[in-house]
Copies of this chain bind each other. A is one copy, B any other.
Amino acid sequence: MTAASGAAPAAEFRASGAAVRGFIETALSAAGSEATQAASVADALTQASLRGVDSHGCRLLVHYAKVVRTGRINPSPALGAKLTGPSTVIVDGDNGFGHHASFFAIDEAMRLARETGIAAAAVVNSSHFGAAGCYPMRAAAAGLVSFAFCNSDSFVLPHDGVAPFHGTNPLSFAAPVTGNRPYLFDMATSMVPWNRVQDMAAKGLKLPADVAVDATGKPTVEPLESAALLPLGGLAFGHKGAGLASVMEILSAVMTGMPHCADLLGMVGPDWTTPRRLGHFFIVIDPERFVPRALYDAGMAAYLANLRASPARDGKSVMAPGDREWKVEAERSANGIPVAPALKEAFDTLAGELSIAPLPPVA
């Protein structure tokens, strides 16, 4: 349909969370993945899409369906848990999807934390685990406080460096808020995610200053010239973001015996068959070992209320981590998850290849 036809532009395609979840699960199963693993990936991607984290939402299905077919991902991993102390466990992801190993790991850490007060799970032989916040979210739903740490392949300059070294190395922390959606903090240790650069390129827009560099390490606002990201803090204060990235590196790689950022195979090739052997690290804490639940609840409520009541810049409001996400989640739960035309087309192609039904629109 062309503009000349006088018709309105095509309505935005939206699919319900349940439909998106089902489509991902069916597609990955059809691509060869064992069913419980496909369900783990579908859970992680759908919750990211629902809360508006589109970079780590259903769009990743296309990538994941590829890597399970190319053999990088073990379609039927046998997850292993080795208890190494009353509060510690090593989870072997058996080179399956990182989401599957990570849900398993956070469950193990939650079980141990309930017994001893705090526990840690290291995940070995894993792969991309999607949005880091998915796993602390599960612990928060059970009344527990937790951290998730991960590294990734090189995309971000070290401080005072000119070549990519660290990954966007995310850190997530969640804490329960009784009677409400949890407190959820989930950040990359770069100034912006790489997909922001791609998004600006697609829209023909300039980047903000001090977030990206060209292939020589020189700062640039041109998305198409961008070759790497600056760490949080930018050129002047990037020692902080780079330092955070290195903490993620120690926990995810050194503490797991997995490759560090500079030795990791790239997520987007060129090698599509060798397992990437990513590591992750999770810490779960039972707040009731430190403070009675009623006092925890009152303290959290008072802190969040004071933060949100803090005077704001014109036209803005001061939000707590997660506030934006729960607003989006409420809207998308009601109206469906928007799927951009290019992504819908990729989903339709994938459905054709796998001989499954296409993703249906909201009723």
The contact of A286 among B85, B116, B295, by CB within 8 Å, is B85
Closest Cβ of chain B to A305, distance in Å, is: 10
In the complex, the answer to whether B87 meets A162 with C-beta atoms within 8 Å is no
The interface-forming segment of A11-19, A231-239, A270-278 is A231-239
Known: A117-B120, A161-B312. A257 touches B185 (CB 8 A): no
Q: Is A45 in the interface zone, CB < 8 Å from B? A: no
- Report which residue of A163, A191, A254, A300 has the largest number of chain B beta carbons within 10 angstroms of its beta carbon: A254
Q: Number of A interface residues, CB 8 Å?
A: 79
Closest Cβ of chain B to A257, distance in Å, is: 5
In the complex, the answer to whether B310 meets A163 with C-beta atoms within 8 Å is yes
In the complex, the answer to whether B310 meets A118 with C-beta atoms within 8 Å is no
Q: Once bound together, how far apart are the Cα atoms of A185 and B243, in whole Å?
A: 6
Chain B contacts for A135, CB-based, 8 A: none
Closest Cβ of chain B to A322, distance in Å, is: 9
Known: A185-B243, A307-B158. A253 touches B87 (CB 8 A): no
Chain B contacts for A312, CB-based, 8 A: 160-162
Q: Once bound together, how far apart are the Cα atoms of A285 and B283, in whole Å?
A: 10
Interface string of A85-125 (1 = CB under 8 A from B): 11110100000000000000000000000011111101000
Name the residue on B nearest A315 (C-beta).
B160
Q: Once bound together, how far apart are the Cα atoms of A236 and B211, in whole Å?
A: 10
Chain B contacts for A263, CB-based, 8 A: 302, 306
Name the residue on B nearest A120 (C-beta).
B118
Chain B contacts for A302, CB-based, 8 A: 260, 263
Interface residues of A in 229-282 (CB under 8 A from B): 232-234, 236-237, 239-241, 243-244, 246-247, 249-251, 253-257, 260, 262-263
The contact of A88 among B84, B159, B289, by CB within 8 Å, is B289
The contact of A162 among B162, B257, B313, by CB within 8 Å, is B313
Known: A145-B250, A175-B250, A185-B247. A255 touches B116 (CB 8 A): no
Closest Cβ of chain B to A216, distance in Å, is: 10
In the complex, the answer to whether A185 meets B255 with C-beta atoms within 8 Å is no
- Report which residue of A241, A243, A295 has the largest number of chain B beta carbons within 10 angstroms of its beta carbon: A243
- Report which residue of A239, A255, A256, A283 has the largest number of chain B beta carbons within 10 angstroms of its beta carbon: A255
Name the residue on B nearest A317 (C-beta).
B160
Interface residues of A in 301-322 (CB under 8 A from B): 302-303, 306-307, 310-313, 316-321
Closest Cβ of chain B to A18, distance in Å, is: 30
- Report which residue of A192, A234, A262, A307 has the largest number of chain B beta carbons within 10 angstroms of its beta carbon: A307
Binding site for B on A (CB under 8 A): 84-88, 90, 115-120, 122, 145, 158-163, 165, 173, 175, 183, 185, 187, 191-192, 208, 211, 217, 232-234, 236-237, 239-241, 243-244, 246-247, 249-251, 253-257, 260, 262-263, 283, 285-287, 289-291, 295-296, 299-300, 302-303, 306-307, 310-313, 316-321
Q: Could you list 28 examples of A-B contacts with CB < 8 Å?
A: A84-B289, A85-B116, A85-B118, A85-B289, A86-B87, A86-B115, A87-B87, A87-B116, A88-B286, A117-B120, A118-B120, A120-B290, A158-B318, A160-B319, A161-B312, A163-B310, A173-B247, A185-B244, A185-B247, A232-B240, A232-B241, A246-B320, A249-B303, A250-B303, A254-B291, A255-B290, A255-B296, A257-B296
Nearest 8 A-B pairs (CB), nearest first?
Answer: A85-B117, A88-B117, A160-B316, A88-B289, A254-B299, A87-B116, A86-B116, A84-B289
